[in-house]
Each structure stands twice: as C-alpha cells, then as structure tokens.
Chains A and B, each alone.
Chain A
Amino acid sequence: MDLFIQQVLAGLANGAIYAGVALAVVMIYQAIDHFNFAQGEMAMFSTYIAWAMLNGGLPYWLAFVATVVVSFLGGLALERIVFKPIQNAPALSHVIVFIGLLAIFNSMAGFIWEFTIKPFPSPFPSAPLFGNTLIGTHQVGMIGVTLIMLALIWVFFRYTDTGLAMRAAAANPDSARLVGVRVGWMLALGWGLAAAIGAVAGMLIAPVVFLEPNMMAGILLYGFAGAIVGGANSPAGAVLGGFLVGVIENLLGTFVPWIGNELKLSVALVLIIVVLVVRPSGLMGQRVVSRV
C-alpha cells in the first residue's frame, strides 16, 4: 500500500511537469488547431535564458520573472515573424515550420551554451516537507506552481476582456473581427502565453532532469498525451490530463513488470491513440452543443 501511495505521489510530481507542458501546448492549439512540436525546445531555450541570468548573479525569483517576461515577448515575436506570413498555408507547412524551429532552438542552445549537462537550482528548500519521506519539497512546489498557473489562466480567460477576445478569436475569427477584435494579435498573444507557461514548466523541470538541449525530448510527448487525454482545447483538461498521464505512467511502470522504465514512453503514445479513438474530445474538451 505504501508503495502504491508513493508511486501515485511520484506520478503526480511527474504529472505536474507534463501538465505544465500540456497547458502550454493547449494555449497554441486553442488558437490555431495545431500541436506546436517546438513547444518543448522553446521551454528548454527559456530555461537556458534563466540559467544565464542566474549565472550572471540575479536572485532566483527575479530571474524567474524576467525569464517569463522575455519568453512571453519571444513567443509573441515568433508568431508575428514566422507564423503570421504562413497563416493561410496548409497544415503540413505548419508542421514543417514547427520541426524547423525545434531543430533551430535545439542547435542554437547547444551552440551558445554547449551540450554539456548543467545543474539547475530549485527555488524550494531541499529539506523534506514536514519531514515526510513520500514526496520531495520540489515536487510539491511543482504541483503547486502548476495549479497556480492554471488558476491564473482560468481567471484570465473567464474574467478579462482580453481573455474573452482570445476565446472569441479562436472560436470564430470572422465574427470576432466584426466586433472589433484584432484576431492576428490574439494569436500572437496565445503564442506569448504558451512561451511564458513553457518557460515556467522548463524552470521547474530542469532541477529534476538537469539542463541540456535535449531535456524536453520525451517530456513533450507526455505533454501532448496530457493535452489529448484532457481535451486539447481545455486548459483545465490539459492539467488534469497531465497529472493523469503522470500517475498512469508511474503505476504501470511500477506494477506491470514488463513495462518497467524502458517502455514507459510508449505508455504516452498508447494513451494518445486510445483517447483519440475512444473519445477524441478528451475528458474535458468541449463538444459544441448547437442548434441551427
């Protein structure tokens, strides 16, 4: 029983990582109906920026906030410069550009900061939380930060005019323009948010997996799985999905002997396929109720 609880908690901790990435993925999926394959590398690059700031002597939380802001602006610029010109191009062109960006960010990080593994600090104390041995303080912190991000995103979309405008632009761009929404900028804002959320996820992941250009490779697949399980157009679903994927992966890895550590990544892929077949809209994805 103890082992079970321990593995569930460990799964939740991993899940927080996936949830963060899934949340970033959903930000862009909501806006353009594509999965951004470069999301992981963008987060990795942001984390390097944070590392450089920390190395330059900035206190942790200052570097954290500065990285989030820089990433937000970077995401915004990326949409305006790279994706605005191809907005009407077919889906495959987007995929190609995503993969191109992935490669560019990856090699740029390696070129600037080298491919050697770097330690990355955690903002949370290393002492176990309340003396428990089941889950580390950093892990609890990751879960907390992910939930806080979700709450902020929820408030933003639900209660602010800009959030409402973004939802309108994503759902019905023509109608949105007719009420004066600058649809193009709403897309850019979605990219900015995705980059900012990815940056937070990256900074939380780095203390666990260490910082290196390929640190997001497997994690992005779990993030996609989280987004799909939860419903690719639902931020809350993405976070729920992320946690679920973390727990499922961990439990299967522990209790199903032939899966073990080696086949864990396939769990993500199997989950993606099962959900797409059984319930394409995911657990919390919205199906449109409409009468004409």
Chain B
Amino acid sequence: MAALLEVAGLEAFYGQTQALHGIAFALEEGSLTTILGANGAGKTTTLRAICGMVRVRGEVRLLGERIDGRATEDVVRRGIAHVPEGRGTFVRLQVEENLRLGALTRRDRARIAEDFERVYHYFPRLKERRHQQAGTLSGGEQQMLAVARALMMRPRLMLLDEPSFGLAPLLTQELFGILARIKQDEKVSMLLVEQNAALALGLADHAYLLETGRVVMSGLAADIREDENVRKSYLGY
C-alpha cells in the first residue's frame, strides 16, 4: 500500500533562491512525524511545498497520487489541513466563523454540527469565546483556534508549523497534551514541525532533521530521543 504522504527529490524556490535541496521522506497513515531543525533550515518551506504555496520541483504524493504543482485549495480539498506559521487567524471574524471556515468545503452537512461540539470539547475556551472577534484572542488561544479550524476540515493529514511558538511553557504542555489526545481519538496523521525537539520527539513516531534545506538525519523518534550524541550535536539539549 502507498504511504499516506510521500515526498521525493523535493526542491523549493523563492524567486531565484533555492530553499530545499532534494528532500525525501514518507509518512504512514495514522503516524505522527516530526521535522526538526534550526531557524532557516527549511521546515516551514517543506510544509508550504506540500501545499503548493511555493514553487517546487520533485514529487509529492498523497496516497500515491501526485499533488505537486496543484493549487493550494485543491491540495487542501484532498484532505490536508495546514496550521500555518503565524496561525493564519481571520482576525476580524468571530471565533465561530473561523471554525465554520474550516468546514467550508465539506459536504457532510449533518456531521458539522457534531464536529463543533467535538472541537469545543478539546478546546473549551474557544466555546466560551465563540462570538468574540478572533483577533482579540491571546496568542495561545489563537494557536488553539488554528488547530481547531484544521480539525473542522476532518483532514486525513494535519501539517502543524511550530504550534508551540510564542506560548508559555504551561500552555505548550496543554496544547501538546491535546494534540496527543487528538492523535489517539481521531483518525488523523500529523506532520509536526518544531524547534522544541524534546517536546516533539516525545509525541512523534518518526523524526527527520533538516539543515539548510537537506535531511541530515532520520529515524524512529524513540531512538533519537535515547541517542545522547545525536541530541547533543544536532538538537542541543
């Protein structure tokens, strides 16, 4: 059977600048894979490349079907939910409208109401604030909103770009706890980009380490977590 997501020889370009130099990895259905790396390593670019948000060369396959070169909205409609760097909040819209947008392309109307409850169950604070303008939420709440909006899409695969960014440690713990629950309860695979390696390795099955647009190491998250040399030389903790 084909992997859920398969990336081969992926290069990405911003104008003339090349940001990815032939990346390859695969992601099994139901798994959580993390991409680690320092600032500027190309983590965000990798996610953007999967979603057709940058110019790419190489192959991206979803369940065996090529999706590279497709428009972002078409990739997304195939079941990939991208929680972008910076959260992508619709600041002028209400919290609930942000969530409605997540469900916009779905045809199973009847189950959307159910999913609102499901999402509010994970994030009770969003329910309290559902009629508030989303721009008035705190950074942490906006991050939760971004994850919740992605869940409303009932995606096959979620791409999460540094969900811990700018959050206090306690809130980060809370969010990762919820992500762990989501992973367990929902049939959704995740590709998690993080700078906080310890946190991500605790949650992930597989890990890839990026440096200047190349994969320099990969393996089971558990192995990398145990390997003190790797941790010291690559991950700095």
Contacts and interface: CB of A to CB of B under 8 A. Distances in A.
B73 A182 contact: yes
Interface of A: 161, 164-165, 167-168, 171-172, 174-183, 286, 288-292
CB-CB nearest 7 A-B residue pairs: A290-B135, A175-B88, A180-B105, A177-B72, A180-B76, A290-B91, A179-B101
Contacts of B3: none
Nearest to B105: A180
A183 to B, nearest CB: 7
Given A165-B104, A289-B135, A289-B136, A175 B84 contact: yes
A178 B88 contact: yes
Interface in B72-95: 72-73, 76-77, 81-82, 84, 88-93
21 contacts: A161-B100, A161-B104, A164-B97, A164-B100, A165-B101, A167-B97, A168-B101, A171-B92, A171-B93, A174-B84, A175-B89, A177-B71, A177-B73, A178-B72, A178-B88, A181-B104, A289-B135, A290-B135, A290-B136, A291-B135, A292-B139
B153 interface: yes
Contact of A179 (B76, B91, B137): B76
Contacts of B100: 161, 164
B24 interface: no
Given A180-B104, A182-B73, 4 more contacts: A161-B100, A164-B101, A167-B93, A172-B89
B149 interface: yes
Nearest to A167: B93
Residue with the highest number of chain A CB atoms closer than 10 Å, among B71, B76, B104, B149: B104
B133 interface: yes
A164 B90 CA distance: 11
Contacts of A291: 135-139
A180 B153 contact: yes
A177 B91 contact: no
Contacts of B133: 289
Interface string B44-82: 000000010100000000000000000111001100011
A172 B84 contact: no
B163 interface: no
A183 B72 CA distance: 10
